[in-house]
Amino acid sequence: MPQVSSTEQIPAQRGSGVVPNCGAQYTNSMRIPHTELSPVALRAVVEEFVTRDGTDHSPVELRIETVLRQLDAGRVELHFDAEAETCHFVPVEGSPRGDGGAE
């Protein structure tokens, strides 16, 4: 499987970034098909991700729904970084940036 890296920000609905560009390269990660997780598990992973840094003060529910839409649209993928022992959402190369909203 080719290594995936994240170097651009995927804009979220209403202009707030949900999938941040932290300058990090997630090159030692394993892609997790989000459709293989139960809805409860996926929502918990997304909620942990969107509340991780605590710097975005938009409603948590809005950020969760935005990431879920980005996953369903194929704009981002869920990756597990074994070294950091955490999940990340990384942009899919070649995906349209759009506004992160439902299509």
In a domain, 20, yes or no: yes
In a domain, 102, yes or no: no
- CATH number, residue 27: 1.10.10.610
In a domain, 97, yes or no: no
Average pLDDT along the chain? 75
Whether 16 shows a pLDDT value over 60: the answer reads no
**Strand, helix or coil at 88?**
strand
Question: What's the rounded Cα separation, in Å, for the pair 47 and 24?
Answer: 20
Domain that holds residue 79: 10-91
In a domain, 3, yes or no: no
In a domain, 47, yes or no: yes
Reported as a single tens digit per residue, the pLDDT across 44-81 is 999 999 999 877 889 999 999 999 999 999 999 999 99
Provide the pLDDT for residue 2: 37
98 versus 103: the higher-pLDDT residue is 98
In a domain, 48, yes or no: yes
Q: 20-24: long-range contacts (C-beta < 8 A, 24 or more apart)?
A: 20/53, 24/88
How many domains would you assign to the chain? 1
Provide the pLDDT for residue 81: 92
Provide the pLDDT for residue 96: 65
In a domain, 35, yes or no: yes
